[in-house]
Chains A and B, each alone.
Chain A
Amino acid sequence: MQKKSSNITLKSYLDLAQLLKKYKGKHEDNRLFALTQKSEELKLLSLWQEKNLYRINEELDSSKYLHYLTLLTSLFGIVLLVFGFFTGFALLSYSGTEPVNVIYLLLVMVGLPLFSMLLSLFSLFTGNRGANFFNHFSPLYYLEKIIDFLPFAKNINLSSLPFSATLSKWIFLQRLQLFSFLFALGLFSALVLTVISKDIAFAWSSTLEVNPISFQYMLGLLATPWQTFFPSAVPTLELVEISHYFRLGDKLDTTMVQNADKLGAWWKFLAMATLTYALVLRLLFWFMIRLGLNAQLKKELLALSGVKKLLKEFSTPFVSTQSVKQEKHLEVKEEASISASETLSDAYASLLAWNYAEKTLLLLQDHNKIKASNMAVVGGRNSFSQDQALVDGLKGKILLYVKAWEPPTMDFMDFLADILANKNVKVVEVCPLGTASGNYSSKKSDMEVWLKKLEQVDSEKLEVIDV
Chain B
Amino acid sequence: MSDYPKFAVVGHPNKGKSSIVASLSLDKSIQIGNTPGTTQVKRGFPLKVDGKIVYELFDTPGFQRARRVFAWLQDHGDVSADKRVDVVREFVFKHKTNEQFKDEVELLEPILNGAGIIYVVDASKPYGAEYEIEMEILRWCGQPSMAILNLIGDEDYRDEWTRALGQYFRLVRTYNPMIARHIEHTQLLESMAQLKEDWTESIKKAISVLDELYDKKVEESLNIIVEYMVEVLSFVHKEKIKKEEASEKEKEDAKVTYRKKILSSEKKERRAIEKIWNHLDIEKKEISLELDRVGLFSKESASIFGLSQKELILTGASAGVVTGAGFDLITAGSTLLLGSLIGGVVGGVGAMFGFDNLYEVKVLGQKLGKRELSIGPMQNLNFPYVLLGRSLYHASMIAKRSHAERDNLELDNTSFTEKIMDAKNRKGLEKMHLKLRKAEEIEDEVLEEYRTLIKKSLLTLL
Contact = CB atoms under 8 A, between A and B. Distances in A.
B45 interface: yes
A452 B65 CA distance: 19
B36 A449 contact: yes
B130 A355 contact: yes
A410 B45 contact: no
Interface string A306-336: 0000000000111111111101111010000
B35 A380 contact: no
Interface in B207-230: 209-210, 212-213, 216
A322 B129 contact: no
A247 to B, nearest CB: 54
A161 B62 CA distance: 60
Contacts of B45: 321-323
A329 B27 contact: no
A404 B125 CA distance: 11
A467 to B, nearest CB: 18
Given A31-B50, A321-B26, A409-B64, A403 B128 contact: yes
B13 interface: yes
A381 B133 contact: yes
B357 interface: no
B31 A327 contact: yes
Nearest to A387: B67
- Give the interface size bracket for B toward A: 35 or more
Nearest to B133: A381
Contacts of B27: 321-323
A373 B55 CA distance: 56
A325, A445, A448: residue with the most chain B Cβ atoms closer than 10 Å: A325
B35 A445 contact: no
A409 B36 contact: yes
Contacts of A327: 29-31, 43
Contact of B37 (A330, A406, A445): A330
A379 interface: yes
A318 B209 CA distance: 10
A317 B215 CA distance: 13
A411 interface: yes
A325 to B, nearest CB: 5
A437 interface: yes
Contact of B31 (A320, A330, A406): A330
A435 B41 CA distance: 31
A408 B34 contact: no
Interface string B126-151: 10111011000000000000000000
B68 A411 contact: yes
Nearest to A382: B67
A407 B59 CA distance: 18
A328 B31 CA distance: 9
B126 A410 contact: no
A319 B48 contact: yes
Contacts of A383: 67, 71
Given A327-B29, A330-B40, A414 B65 contact: yes
Contact of A409 (B13, B29, B59, B132): B13
A410 B67 CA distance: 10
A321 B14 contact: no
B63 interface: yes
A322 B27 CA distance: 6
B47 A452 contact: no
Contacts of A384: 67-68, 71
B354 interface: no
A405 B127 CA distance: 11
A72 interface: no
A35 interface: yes
Contacts of B36: 407-409, 449, 453
A458 to B, nearest CB: 18
A379 B70 CA distance: 13
B350 interface: no
A409 B65 contact: yes
Interface in A142-180: none
A357 interface: yes
A257 interface: no
A71 interface: no
Contacts of B46: 320-321, 323-324
Interface in B90-137: 100, 103, 122, 125-126, 128-130, 132-133
A435 B125 contact: yes
Contacts of A357: 129
Contacts of A452: 35
Given A321-B25, A407-B36, A437-B155, A32 B51 contact: yes
B47, B122, B128: residue with the most chain A Cβ atoms closer than 10 Å: B128
Contacts of A453: 36
Given A384-B68, A411-B68, A452-B35, A406 B128 contact: yes
A318 B50 contact: yes
Secondary structure at the A interface, as helix, strand, loop or mixed, is loop
A411 B66 contact: yes
Contacts of B166: none
B174 interface: no
A44 to B, nearest CB: 15
A411 B13 contact: no
A388 to B, nearest CB: 11
B49 interface: yes
Nearest to A31: B50
Contacts of B133: 381
Contacts of B65: 409-411, 414
B348 interface: no
B38 interface: yes
Contact of B49 (A318, A380, A406): A318
B14 A407 contact: yes
Contacts of A436: 126
Contacts of B62: 409
Contacts of B13: 407, 409
Interface string A437-458: 1000000010011001100000
A344 to B, nearest CB: 22
B368 to A, nearest CB: 15
Nearest to B74: A383
A195 to B, nearest CB: 55
Given A325-B43, A330-B31, A407-B14, A381 B132 contact: yes
A324 B51 CA distance: 12
A319 B47 contact: yes
Contacts of B66: 409, 411
Nearest to A309: B220
A327 B32 CA distance: 11
B47 A379 contact: no
Interface string A9-34: 00000000000000000001001100
Contacts of B30: 323, 327
23 contacts: A320-B46, A320-B47, A321-B27, A322-B25, A325-B43, A325-B44, A327-B31, A330-B31, A330-B35, A332-B35, A380-B128, A380-B130, A383-B67, A403-B125, A405-B122, A407-B35, A410-B64, A410-B65, A411-B67, A414-B68, A448-B34, A449-B36, A453-B36
Interface of A: 28, 31-32, 35, 316-325, 327-330, 332, 355, 357, 379-381, 383-384, 403, 405-411, 414, 435-437, 445, 448-449, 452-453
Interface of B: 12-14, 24-27, 29-31, 33-41, 43-51, 59, 62-68, 71, 100, 103, 122, 125-126, 128-130, 132-133, 153, 155, 209-210, 212-213, 216
For the complex of A and B, 5 pairs with smallest distance between CB atoms: A407-B36, A410-B64, A321-B25, A355-B130, A407-B14
Given A357-B129, A453-B36, 10 more contacts: A318-B48, A318-B49, A323-B25, A323-B44, A323-B59, A330-B39, A383-B71, A384-B71, A406-B14, A410-B65
